[in-house]
């Protein structure tokens, strides 16, 4: 069954790597949420923190799993902790994926980043990106958050 998934990531630094995963999403039958055009994100940031939080909350609507794509600087991003906290309060399944092993547009790999504190404190699993595994990881996170009775 297809799940609607919210992706949390560092836009400016990791969008190329994230798009590799985003293209895989279509293959695995996952509906993606949390991707915003850069101009929308920039305009919202100019309106302040409350506007950004509303944009995140809107992006989380209708999702059942949140994936934190962990690049070299993701753990230091201002809104990642908020996205994780809101995901937990919604009851979303949650996990992280290290994306340093995906080449950027120049063909370079990146240094692995730290696991965001909120993700670690939640006890969420963290994987290293492997092609063909995303759907399995999403389903496992969903089932962990919504155990069948």
Residue 142 reports pLDDT greater than 60? yes
CATH of the domain at 30: 3.40.50.450
pLDDT digits (tens, 9 = 90+) for 36-75: 555 566 677 778 788 889 989 998 999 999 999 999 999 9
Structural domain of 32: 4-144
Is 149 among the domain residues? no
CA 64 – CA 142 distance, rounded (Å): 7
How many domains would you assign to the chain? Answer: 1
CA-to-CA separations, 82 to 27, 53, 147, in angstroms, rounded: 29, 8, 25
pTM of the model: 0.90
pLDDT digits (tens, 9 = 90+) for 85-98: 999 999 999 999 99
pLDDT at 85: 96
Question: What are the phi and psi torsion angles at 5 (to 5°)?
Answer: -120, 135
Rounded to 10 degrees, what is the CA torsion of 10, 12, 14, 20? 110
Is 35 among the domain residues? yes
pLDDT at 52: 87
């Amino acid at each position: 069954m297809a799940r609607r998934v919210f992706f949390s990531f560092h836009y400016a630094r990791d969008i190329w790597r994230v798009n590799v995963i985003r293209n895989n999403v279509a293959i695995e039958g996952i509906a993606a949420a949390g991707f915003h055009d850069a101009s929308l994100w920039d305009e919202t940031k100019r309106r302040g923190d409350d506007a950004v939080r509303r944009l995140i909350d809107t992006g989380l609507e209708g999702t059942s799993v949140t994936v934190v794509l962990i690049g070299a600087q993701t753990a230091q991003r201002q809104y990642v902790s908020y996205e994780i906290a809101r995901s937990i309060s919604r009851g979303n399944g949650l996990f992280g994926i290290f994306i340093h092993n995906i080449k950027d547009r120049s063909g370079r790999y990146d240094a692995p980043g730290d696991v965001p504190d909120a993700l670690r404190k939640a006890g969420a699993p963290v994987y290293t990106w492997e092609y063909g595994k995303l759907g399995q990881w999403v389903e496992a996170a969903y089932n962990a958050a919504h155990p069948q009775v």
